[in-house]
Amino acid sequence: MIYFKFPFDEKLYSTDENSDKKTVIFKSFDQAESVHFKGNCIEVNTISERFSNQSLAKDETEFSAETHDEYLGKLQQIINVIKENQLPKLVLSRRKIFKDFNEINLEESFNNICKVYPNAFRYIFIKNSKAWMGAFSEVLGKFNKSTHEFETMGLAGTIPVSESWTVKEIEEQKPVSSYIRNVLEKFNTESEIQESETYDHISGNIKHLKTDFKLKINPEDLDLIIEELHPTPAVCGIPKDFCKDKIQEFEKFPRELYAGFIRIETDDFIQYFVNLRCAKLYSDSVHLFVGGGITAQSNPEKEWRETELKSEAVLKNLSFSN
């Protein structure tokens, strides 16, 4: 069962499971795993009473999160790899595991996230032994079935809302936009690519640098474009294949659905959202997935603080009973 809200839309949606149509599909970072929900997209009034802490599986992973010193050591190794190979950027992630609670109030937690992130795609689901919740506003793609317009964005750089951009964040965002621009050029047959200025995108307590893109495409190219765009430099790095190999080599845990994407089809649109600011939920623990774009200018201690800040995006909105 899944519940979700679209950006800038406070209507609550689910799927009716009345057909074999895969309306909502979650794809893992490596696309080896998928979770899908069948039926039509429908508006609902409330979350089911069956959607509770008792529905969650027990955490039997026996994972232990990386310590501050472990992560800083790994960050320094990544910075060395970046310098040796002259990489523009490589994204490193970690899990933060929280266990100090008796129960999670799922409905209240989801409502909290919805209020704090009105411009994000917000979701919560439980299916078989898996339960996830998240809220993030990075659009991997949005396809209009009538006009054949395709929209995407370049999003990178993360600092607290109150701070000013530094060279590090500005340089981190540039290759992201360049990468997207190059991908779209391959499928640009009907019109010129429309590209916005880079501007601030606020998401709760943090902000990012964002550039919007739009063009008309052939509908049959949609899946190919998504395959080319994912994983974007915002969640992987540049060059993509090299950085994917390094992520597998250096990261302590598999990313699972984190940094993958969510595909949702309605009557008018097919939309794809990057699955960031998310958590995997258990009856006795929460696994928060966080990461950051590392460049040659990165400071390991600052990168650690950035991941701590990002983890609060979900954690501070969870409603627990102790």
**pLDDT for 245-279, tens place per residue?**
999 999 999 999 999 999 999 999 999 999 999 99
How many other CB atoms sit within 10 Å of the CB of residue 233? 28
Q: Is the peptide bond before 231 cis (omega within 30 degrees of 0)?
A: yes
- Please give the span between the terminal C-alpha atoms of the chain, in angstroms, as a whole number: 26
How many other CB atoms sit within 10 Å of the CB of residue 130? 16
How confident is the model at residue 44, as a pLDDT? 95
- Give the chain's mean pLDDT: 92
Write the pLDDT tens digit of every residue in 163-182: 898 887 887 788 888 889 99
Distance, CA of 221 to CA of 229 (rounded, Å): 12
Cβ proximity of 259 and 231 under 8 Å:
yes
**Residue 54 CB-density burial (10 A; 0-12 exposed, 13-18 middle, 19+ buried):** exposed
Write the pLDDT tens digit of every residue in 204-240: 778 888 999 999 999 999 999 999 999 988 899 989 9
Write the pLDDT tens digit of every residue in 44-85: 999 988 888 889 999 999 999 999 999 999 999 999 999 999
Q: Which two tokens stand for residue 297?
A: 């200018």
Domain ranges of the chain: 2-47+69-321
Cβ proximity of 155 and 178 under 8 Å:
no
At the topology level, CATH places domain 2-47+69-321 in Anthranilate synthase (3.60.120)
Cβ proximity of 225 and 217 under 8 Å:
yes
Residue 137 has pLDDT above 90, yes or no: no
Cα 303 from chain centroid (whole Å)? 18
